[in-house]
Amino acid sequence: MIHIPDLANATPVGVIFCILALITVITAFLTIFSRNPIHSAIYLVICFFSIAGHYLLLNSQFLAVVHIIVYSGAIMILFLFTIMLMNLNEQKDVHRPRITRLGAIVSFCLIVIVLIAIFINSKPIVGDYDSTGEDFQSIEVLGKILLNEYMVPFEFASILLLVAMIGTVLLSKKEKLNK
């Protein structure tokens, strides 16, 4: 039986969390089930903004701003350029064999069962919390950690995005017909 919380006695943060969670889930489903790729990308941007709202509720302002800049800004622009360059919004209804659909349904159900089993069998961490006294919310500390310890993965990610963008442009170029 599903327990619906009493919103009359809820705190404002709890109400905001419920609204953001509802927006996140609805836009995530609309992203998946939308037939138009442009609408799907817009729903994904709304979903990213609502997740940034969750970061704000967790008092992680820097992470929320970085999430908006990176995901809602850069990556969604790449998605939209890819969709526009490859002209994916043409209505071509591809009929998949039934075995493919059955395989997708079975794999989805198996993943859901595994995630539910993990959730049920998980136990909270009990013990003392060791604090170093260092404030990881500080932009200065985060900048030092990102650009010292994680410099190589940061550069690899930028090279990966550059290669993906070049690949998109090359795939979208029309071949000239030799006459």
pLDDT in tens, 112-164: 899 898 888 887 777 776 777 666 667 777 778 878 888 888 788 888 878 87
Class of the CATH-defined domain 12-113: mainly alpha
End-to-end CA gap in the chain: 70
66-95 residue pLDDT tens:
888 888 777 777 777 777 766 655 555 556
Give yes or no for a contact between 54 and 27, defined as CB atoms under 8 angstroms apart. no
40-43 contacts, C-beta under 8 A, 24 or more apart: 41/76, 41/79, 41/80, 41/83
| Eight-state DSSP code of residue 135 | -
Neighbouring residues of 25: CB distance < 8 A, sequence distance ≥ 6: none
Token duo for residue 45: 């941007």
State how far the Cα of 156 lies from the Cα of 160, in Å rounded to an integer.
6
